[in-house]
Amino acid sequence: MAGHSHAKTVRKTKEANAQKRAQLFSKAIRLISVAVRQGGGNPETNPKLRMAIEIAKSYNVPKENIENAIKRALGEAGASKFEEVIYEAYGPGGTALIIEGITDNKNRTFNEIRQVLSRFNGKLVEEGAIRWMFERKGLITIKLEDQKSEYQNKENLELAAIEAGAEDIEWQQNNLLVYTPISQLYEIKKALEEKGIKIEEVSLDWKPKEVVSPKEEERKVLEKLFEALDELDSVQEIYSNLAQ
């Protein structure tokens, strides 16, 4: 799991399945299209597009597909009805959820998400009821095993991240999660790379201020809920305050 994104965890299991992989490609292309229409087709001047491209690459979307998506979005400027949406919800065990999506029909997406939540003892809540429990952060994921020998030492890697400007760090198995202010995300990424550190992924995260630890049965229901939400084409990311 990358940070507190459950969608990324679910998608790791989908990559070997051709049908599921096609769904991942579709989600990535939507993300690129919205980014282009909001900030143009140059990833050097459009950080949102730069991140969308990195996400697409992490899903193994071919370079040609990415380039075609950018060209298509540039050619359709103003024509698309896709827009970003964000929903707040409670899941089993009082778990707080933030669900991000891209849709061409907000009413349909709202109803689809509401129906999925209701199947797993969850419910949507009004805007602002959940979001205050989280902080929006930049996130750099670093795999310990991919580093040169100097940085396969956890303390050395932590120190390098702090020196590069990390706001906070935490370990998730053998991945170091480096949290940053959003405005400094790529600046800190560059500083890490200049130290010879290999970056696994760059993304944004909703980082919970406090975490909850529901019962094991509730955790199992939550896992099924995350999978069901990610099956919806319009859902891009699912975040929670579930303890790791």
Verify that 143 and 37 share a domain, yes or no.
no
Domain of residue 51, residue span: 6-75
Closest CA to 11 of 62, 69, 56, 66: 56
DSSP 8-state assignment for residue 228: H
Q: At 35, which CATH number?
A: 1.10.10.200
pLDDT tens track for 94-147? 999 999 999 999 999 999 999 999 999 999 999 999 999 999 999 999 999 999
Tens digit of pLDDT per residue, the chain (244 long)? 455 677 666 555 555 566 778 888 999 999 999 999 889 999 999 999 999 999 999 888 999 999 999 998 888 655 567 889 999 999 999 999 999 999 999 999 999 999 999 999 999 999 999 999 999 999 999 999 999 999 999 999 999 999 999 999 999 989 999 999 999 999 999 999 999 999 998 999 999 999 999 999 999 999 999 999 999 999 999 999 998 7
Residue pair 14/24 in contact (Cβ under 8 Å)? The answer is: yes
Q: Are residues 145 and 194 in the same domain?
A: yes
175 with 222, same domain: the answer is no
Structure tokens, 79: 């024509």
Instruction: List the CATH number of the domain containing 101.
Output: 3.30.70.980
Do residues 215 and 190 lie in contact, with contact meaning Cβ atoms separated by under 8 Å?
no
Residues 71 and 92: their CA atoms lie apart, in Å, by: 42
Same-domain check for residues 160 and 214:
no
Tokens of 31: 């993300």
Q: Is the dihedral of CA 218, 221, 90, 10 positive or negative?
A: positive
Pair (15, 43) in one structural domain: yes
Q: Are residues 180 and 158 in the same domain?
A: yes
Q: 109 phi and psi, to 5 degrees?
A: -65, -40
**How many structural domains compose the chain?**
3
pLDDT value of position 1 = 44
Nearest to 138, CA basis, from 95, 199, 195? 199
Vertex 17: Cα angle to 207 and 100 (nearest 5): 25
Nearest to 201 by CA among 139, 117, 125: 139
Name 217's Cβ contacts closer than 8 Å, sequence gap at least 6. none
Same domain? 213 vs 203: no
Residue 123 burial by Cβ neighbours in a 10 Å radius (0-12, 13-18, 19+): exposed
Please give the span between the terminal C-alpha atoms of the chain, in angstroms, as a whole number: 9
